[in-house]
Copies of this chain bind each other. A is one copy, B any other.
Amino acid sequence: MAVPILKQGPFLIASIQSALTDTDVLQLRDDVMAQVTRHRSKGIIVDVTSLDVMDSFVSRSLRGIAMMTRLRGAETVIVGIQPEVAFAMVQLGMSFEDVQTALDLEEGLALLEAGFLGP
Which A residues have a C-beta under 8 Å from some C-beta of B? 33-34, 36-37, 40, 64, 67-74, 79, 81, 83, 85-87, 89-91, 95-96, 101-103, 107-108, 111, 119
Contact = CB atoms under 8 A, between A and B. Distances in A.
A73 B79 contact: yes
17 contacts: A33-B83, A33-B86, A36-B103, A40-B103, A64-B91, A67-B89, A67-B95, A68-B89, A70-B95, A70-B101, A71-B89, A71-B90, A73-B102, A73-B103, A73-B107, A73-B108, A73-B111
A44 to B, nearest CB: 13
B101 A87 contact: no
Given A101-B71, A101-B73, A83 B40 contact: no
A111 B119 CA distance: 14
A101 B53 CA distance: 31
Nearest to A68: B86
Contacts of A86: 33, 67-69, 71-72
Contact of A72 (B73, B91, B103, B111): B103
